């Protein structure tokens, strides 16, 4: 797909989820992806894309303290990505890990700002462009940051827990969780009961749930409902509705 992207959509920027500087570590962190797309195969396709479109890609690297954040990891990463002497240096986007139940079971911990800055400094000292994508931490306090909603949905489906009746009296994080798990009808009920209290994370969760419900069958009739109009109105009212929330 990376190779075809270079020809079919040459103006589209390429971003590659890497997260490990070696195939061995990548197999531990992403066993399914690493087995299907070995690191060497991915990088060969990335090099082809770069040479074809004339732009360097961006590599996303989720930082996991004690797992992939050592000085040796930084050196391995630079060596891996600097494949051709004299070629343009790749751009590395460090992504802070956000806590999930699956991550806790694996022993992952959330990196501190110092750990993120230190690893960024290591990469820069080795001649690579690197930044920290701080925006992916938005919504942590509500359990709705990057990766948390999907991880929570998978965890609850594995446990086969019976769905609880929506209860608008819960705190903000619980309301986010219930909105994300709800059916379209249940979600509209939650919106109607909590319209004035919805924040940008709630709005984001609501639209995700409605979009997911709409994929299951045509003709969803929620757009004409009073609750949906309340959701639109609340969306317009929120001053902090960021692009990420949208």
DSSP code string of 156-180: HHHHTPPPPPP-TTS-HHHHHHHHH
The pLDDT of residue 40 is 93
Place of tokens 């209290």: 197
> What torsion, rounded to 10 degrees, do the Cα atoms 90, 116, 119, 13 define?
0
**103 against 84, higher pLDDT:** 103
pLDDT for position 157: 45
Residue-wise pLDDT for 60-71, tens only, equals 999 999 999 999
Q: In whole angstroms, what separates CA 63 from the centre of its chain?
A: 13
Closest Cα to residue 208, out of 160, 155, 152?
152
pLDDT, tens only, 108-162:
999 999 999 999 999 999 988 999 988 777 666 666 667 766 544 444 444 444 4
240 close to 200: Cβ distance less than 8 angstroms: yes
Specify the pLDDT at position 133: 86
Average the pLDDT over 80-100 and give the result: 80
Average pLDDT rounded to a whole number, residues 73-99: 83
Over range 83-110, report the average pLDDT: 81
H/E element, 16: strand 15-17
Q: CA distances (Å), 86 to each of 55, 74, 82, 109, in order?
A: 14, 19, 9, 37
Average of per-residue pLDDT values in the chain: 81
Phi, then psi, of 173 in degrees rounded to 5: -65, -40
Res 43: pLDDT: 92
Residue 4 token pair: 């075809």
pLDDT digits (tens, 9 = 90+) for 185-242: 899 999 999 988 888 888 888 888 888 776 655 545 677 789 999 998 888 888 766 5
The more confident residue out of 216 and 177 is 177
What are the pLDDT digits (tens) for 25-65? 999 998 888 999 999 999 999 999 999 999 888 999 999 99
């Amino acid at each position: 797909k990376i190779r075809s992207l270079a020809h079919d959509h040459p103006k589209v920027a390429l971003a590659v989820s890497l997260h490990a500087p070696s195939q061995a570590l990548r197999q531990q962190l992403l066993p399914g992806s690493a087995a299907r797309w070995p690191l060497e195969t991915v990088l060969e396709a990335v090099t082809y894309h770069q040479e074809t479109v004339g732009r360097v890609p961006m590599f996303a690297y989720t930082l996991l303290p004690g797992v992939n954040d050592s000085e040796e990891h930084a050196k391995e990463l630079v060596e891996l990505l600097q494949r051709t002497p004299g070629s343009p240096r790749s751009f590395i986007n460090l992504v802070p890990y956000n806590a999930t139940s699956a991550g806790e079971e694996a022993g992952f911990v959330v990196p501190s700002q110092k750990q993120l800055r230190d690893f960024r400094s290591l990469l820069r000292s080795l001649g690579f462009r690197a930044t920290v994508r701080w925006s992916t931490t938005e919504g942590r306090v509500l359990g709705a940051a990057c990766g948390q909603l999907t991880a929570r949905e998978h965890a609850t489906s594995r446990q086969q827990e019976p769905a609880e009746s929506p209860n608008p009296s819960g705190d903000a994080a619980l309301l986010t969780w219930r909105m994300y798990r709800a059916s379209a009808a249940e979600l509209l009920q939650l919106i109607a009961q909590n319209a004035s209290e919805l924040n940008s994370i709630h709005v984001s969760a609501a639209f995700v749930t409605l979009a997911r419900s709409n994929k299951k069958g045509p003709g969803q009739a929620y757009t004409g409902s009073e609750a949906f109009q309340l959701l639109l109105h609340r969306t317009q009212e929120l001053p902090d509705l960021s692009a990420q929330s949208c």
